[in-house]
Amino acid sequence: MQLYTYFRSSAAYRVRIALNLKDLPAEMVPIHLQKEGGLNRKPEYRAVNPQMRVPALRLDSGDVLTQSLAIIEYLEDVVPEPPLLPRDPVERAKVRALAQLRYLKNALGQDQAKIDEWYHHWILEGFAALETMVRPAPYAYGDAVTLVDTCLVPQVYNARRLKVPLDRFPKLVAIDAACAKLAAFDRARPENQPDAE
């Protein structure tokens, strides 16, 4: 398998965490999103993912999967252990809802400066909702890591990078700290990637 990734991409970060949790080896193929106007916009990558976004996962069959949550659900389907979604349908829906809580940012399709400006807004709004909905024990949805944690940790990383104050979100900060102790999360960190700058 090959993961088209960018060390700083929160969507790619999510997939890296899931691959590590499932103990699935994947070759990292870095796609720099700024260099030369974005290597993701070059025809070579456009042929991989016409949406020109990372992540994309190329399977050994040659199939290419896109959209981080669709990729993670595929990984969950083919390697069910350890589960990232609870078995109970109501619980599954709740976990998916928490994981999807902040998607508008990407849908806006704005340039990076605008995204950064809005990011503070989305973080504060999204994190405020999450803070009231999660029950750290010590992870976002109980004593086992779920899809919510794979999405939350990259989001907290981005928030810190963009200097969004997190003091209003002690539960989210505690969940992030609990995840940071796990090797699967540590190995997926942006600074631990081969393309880190």
Ligand X SMILES: N[C@@H](CCC(=O)N[C@@H](CS)C(=O)NCC(=O)O)C(=O)O
Contact residues for ligand X (CB under 6 A)?
Answer: 9-11, 33, 38, 40, 52-55, 67-69, 106
- Cα 56 to Cα 45: distance, rounded to the nearest angstrom: 10
Shorter beta-carbon distance to ligand X: residue 170 or 192: 192
Cβ at position 10, least distance to ligand X in Å: 5
Q: Nearest residue to ligand X, using CB?
A: 53
- Cα 181 to Cα 14: distance, rounded to the nearest angstrom: 16
Cβ at position 87, least distance to ligand X in Å: 24
Strand runs labelled E in the chain = 2-5, 27-30, 56-58, 64-66, 135-136, 141-142
Which residues partner with 3 through β-bridges? 28, 57
Cβ at position 158, least distance to ligand X in Å: 9
Shorter beta-carbon distance to ligand X: residue 72 or 134: 72
Shorter beta-carbon distance to ligand X: residue 52 or 174: 52
Shorter beta-carbon distance to ligand X: residue 53 or 58: 53
Distances (CA, A) of 41 to 3, 33, 190: 17, 8, 22
